Chain A
Amino acid sequence: MSVRVEDLKIYYTTLRGEVKAVDGVTFSIGDGEIMGLAGESGCGKSTLGNGLVFLEGRMRHAGGHVQLDGQPLPIGDSRAMEAFRLRQVSIIPQYAMSALNPTRKIGRMTADLLKSRGVDYRKVLEEFKRRVRLVGLPEDVLDRYPFELSGGMRQRATMVISTLLNPSLLIGDEVTSALDVSTQRAVGEMLMEFRDRGYVKSTVVITHDLSILAQIADSILVMYAGKLAEKAGTATIVNNPLHPYTQQLLASLPEVGLRYDEAPLLGIPGRPPSLLDPPKGCRFRERCPFAFDKCVEEPPFVELRPGHEVACWKALQEAQVPGGPMVAQEAAR
């Protein structure tokens, strides 16, 4: 297991109290695994992703541990984390299109960055250029300013820079979201390519586009309101989801394309709860068609089948009845 996250809590400190954006999540990612991270807007995906790399401003490490390649990752200690960033953990941020300094040429910026990390730019230059070509950019983007590139080009440049030192863990936050369909596919393939070539070991792909995950992810983790809802292999999640939230997400997708961008608008009625003062018990309760009295208690995130973890009382009960989960699954359809 190259990445192990245990009961991780990341809160935002605000004037009105703490926003519990990531509230006790536990999972692991294997070497060479691409894990998709899905869930409605605001459920804490970016917070989790950023938290593994860089806790900024108001973010607070409120509990839990992270292990990377058997070593503890000191995510709460920004100083200590510095050594890990870019080399061991890296991120393609959600704002990748505006992540480059507008007044520096891309090559120059990368050189500055590497120099401040004690890496000789000239030594990696050849490799840098090769990867730039690999993602389909001309070599001369190194001599261009970010505003001379299109959004998609900037994003790919960011992708190459973030992975230049072959990190063990890469977070790709919404790397495909703002792109057109064919570019999306290309970026997805690049992520796989990077994994296959060993540029990165484990990858977390945060996205709104389940169809991309279906194509590139080995496993999918579904989050709801700061908590984990379900995690399983990609095929299992797509064909055989156990959590009512996952089921609704999938059901609300149009048949073709499996996109759920507008899912909260079209599909699932109601809104996620406030993370400032989240309700006790199952956080999906208010919107869950199957909610019952047990649901006022918090459901544990447990492995109901091999490699398939779910946090739902109903799924848990049915798992104890032979053939149960499958029936629930049919009912939801």
Chain B
Amino acid sequence: MKKVVTYLVAFFVATTVDWGIPHLMPGNPVEIYLSRFNISSNTQYVALQKTISESFGVNVPLWQQYLDFWKGVLHWNFGISFYETAPVTHIIAQAIPYTLALLVPAILLSYFLGNRIGAMAARRKVLDNVVLPIGYVFQAAPYAWLALLLAYVFAVRLRWFPPSLGSNPGIAVGWSWSFILSALHHWVLPFLSVFLVSFGGWSIGMRNLVIYELETDYARYLRSLGASQRLVRRYAYRNAVLPQLSGLALALGVVVGGNIVTEVVFQYPGLGHLIFLAITNEDYFLLQGIFMFIIIGVLLANFVIDIAYVVIDPRTRLSMTGATA
């Protein structure tokens, strides 16, 4: 199937770019690592350099390194983080729940609520006059600004929510009620900033699509035959959701980017913030690992959307099974 080829190519390209990170980066990763230690004797330095090179796997020819990297990817092994001196996968595993807790609800809720409200706005002038401007402002707001604004108003001024971090540092991370409550408390503002921007986009897109669908020939025909408003709207909604769904695939990359910015503003301990740390600390293996995760995540999400689309839209279903349209 064509789609599968697309995903394989995307995965291949992304992985190769990802592999290149430590190699493209200025400076030699081994040197950078060694510069962290205060090594006086030269022989010691050379010896250490050798061991480190081996443990990083950079002492073999490039093509070998490339193959090794693929092996690592397949085994979920991305080496050791310089900075934290812990396996990259380990560090990432700690950050992932935070990122998912932001992204998944933000994407799903904004999508469903946005579609609902947009469709409602399409048929109620009063609501439309409210939804349209608000939607535009949310959609147009830079992630960083909206995050700073929310933080300033609700954290600094009103003190309703904490301005940063993922939970209260005084509470041990674990399945305790106090931790969960604290984590929720910290989650609200970053969630809102990711959610609102997407919500603006979906509601406006849906509004325009539904208005367009209500003008189509089939809608006119149904009305000419006296079909109820409800039926016409139901059809319009169903058909408008389809392009929205493929829009979801297009939007993923943007939302992931916005999420990174938001996590940085709130110092929220997810992948985005981790990226930021990795860059500042020149921790390229960590960076490499995070990107691999993000890319796999985005590809998987895209794949799910594609499947969903095929299930929902009969026209694509048909072309998949090879019949002629």
Which residues from chain A sit less than 8 Å from chain B, CB to CB? 50, 53-54, 56, 81-87, 90-91, 93, 95, 98-105, 112-113, 116-117, 145, 147-148, 158, 161-162
Contact = CB atoms under 8 A, between A and B. Distances in A.
B222 interface: yes
Taking residues whose C-beta sits less than 8 angstroms from the other chain, chain B's interface range is 20 to 34
Given A90-B225, A112-B231, 4 more contacts: A84-B226, A90-B224, A91-B225, A103-B314
B226 A83 contact: yes
User: Which label, helix, strand, loop or mixed, suits the secondary structure of the A interface?
Assistant: loop
B315 A117 contact: no
Contacts of A100: 218, 221
Q: Which 4 residue pairs are nearest across A and B when measured between Cβ atoms?
A: A85-B226, A99-B221, A116-B228, A54-B224
Interface stretch (B2-10, B36-44, B234-242): B234-242
B230 interface: yes
B54 interface: no
Given A103-B238, A103-B313, A116-B230, A148 B224 contact: no
B284 to A, nearest CB: 48
Interface in B132-177: none
A166 to B, nearest CB: 13
B224 A102 contact: no
A53 B217 CA distance: 15
25 contacts: A90-B224, A91-B225, A93-B221, A95-B220, A98-B217, A99-B217, A100-B218, A100-B221, A101-B218, A101-B239, A103-B238, A103-B239, A105-B314, A113-B222, A113-B227, A113-B231, A117-B227, A117-B228, A145-B315, A145-B318, A147-B325, A148-B318, A148-B323, A148-B325, A162-B225
Contacts of A53: 224
Nearest to B221: A99
A50 B218 CA distance: 15
B23 interface: no
Nearest to A145: B314
Given A98-B218, A101-B239, A112-B231, A93 B224 contact: yes
Contacts of B226: 81-87, 117
Interface string B8-45: 00000000000000000000000000000000000000
A85 B314 CA distance: 30
A21 to B, nearest CB: 17
Residue picked from B221, B225, B323, most chain A C-beta under 10 Å: B225
Contacts of A116: 227-228, 230-231
Nearest to B226: A85
Interface in B262-281: none
A113 B314 contact: no
Contacts of B313: 103
Contacts of A56: 220, 223
Contacts of B223: 54, 56
A93 B224 CA distance: 9
A200 to B, nearest CB: 14
A158 B220 CA distance: 13
B218 A99 contact: yes
Nearest to B325: A147
Nearest to A161: B225
Nearest to B313: A103
A104 B235 contact: yes
A101 B235 contact: yes
Contacts of B222: 101, 113
Contact of A102 (B227, B230, B239, B323): B239
Contacts of B216: 98
B220 A113 contact: no
B224 A85 contact: yes
B231 A103 contact: no
A147 B319 CA distance: 11
Nearest to A98: B217
Interface hub of B218, B231, B325 (most chain A Cβ within 10 A) = B218
A100 B224 CA distance: 12
Contacts of A85: 224-226
Contacts of A103: 235, 238-239, 242, 313-315
